[in-house]
Structure 1
Amino acid sequence: MPIIAVDAIEQVNRTGYPAPHDAAVAGRWYRRLGEAFGLRDFGVSHVVLRPGAASSHRHWHEEEDEFVVILSGEAVLVDDDGRHPMRAGAMAAFPKGQANGHHLVNESGQDCAFLAFGRPPAGPCHYSDIDMMWDGAAYRRKDGGGF
């Protein structure tokens, strides 16, 4: 059935980030809607940021476009150009290959929910503020070393 009952899909807060980088996303909960409904060309995730949580570390993808839509609550988009408040209905796009590290942070006292659209990361992902990158298969240090 094409109608999505969001609450019927498992909500998790797993991350592949190695310690100590995993702490920033401990309050990020998500549901992989695309996977649950068999979408293959792009992914859709329903994400909830608890107060104080970040969506990720600031990052940019070489080979993956990203698009987010705030559903409820508020978050601050932090990118190379500064801090940008976002509320329900606000949208942001991050074209692949543009080296503009970005993430969302919930600095409010209420949950923030948004939809994130993209495709499963296959190529390199660069983290702007920490010594970490995704090489398409695993997280590693920028100098090539492991965690």
Structure 2
Amino acid sequence: MPRIDPTIIPRNNATGYPAPYAKVVGGRWVRRLGPESGLSDFGIGRIPSGNAHYSDIELHWSRGSYRRKDESRY
């Protein structure tokens, strides 16, 4: 896997969630690291936790539709 500098990857705050969930996650910015690192079977997104936001896992739990997802925070 190549070494990448995440700061040169553009940030994006688009969401695919319908209202009212889009408003909950709308303030977060994501850097999609998967395409830049050559990953194709799964994705990696770098989301700074400095802003108050829900993660995907929290949103799925709150909706009662949690599916198995791996999420780590550092």
Secondary structure (helix, strand or coil) at the match of 1:67 reads coil
The question of 1:47 aligning with 2:50 is answered no
Once superposed, which parts of structure 1, at least 4 consecutive aligned residues long, lie more than 4 Å away?
none
| RMSD, aligned CA | 2.0
TM-score relative to the length of structure 2: 0.71
d(CA) in 1 for partners of 2:42, 2:53: 25
- Summarize the alignment of residues 1-147 of structure 1 with structure 2, pairs less than 5 Å apart: 2-56=2-56, 57-58=59-60, 59-61=65-67, 65-71=68-74
Gaps of 5+ in 1: 72-147
Larger Rg: 1
Shift of 1:4: 0.9
Shift of 1:55: 1.4
Q: Percent identity, please.
A: 37
User: Given that residues 33 and 44 in structure 1 are in contact (C-alpha distance below 8 angstroms), is that contact kept between their aligned partners in structure 2?
Assistant: yes
User: Given that residues 28 and 51 in structure 2 are in contact (C-alpha distance below 8 angstroms), is that contact kept between their aligned partners in structure 1?
Assistant: no
TM-score relative to the length of structure 1: 0.40
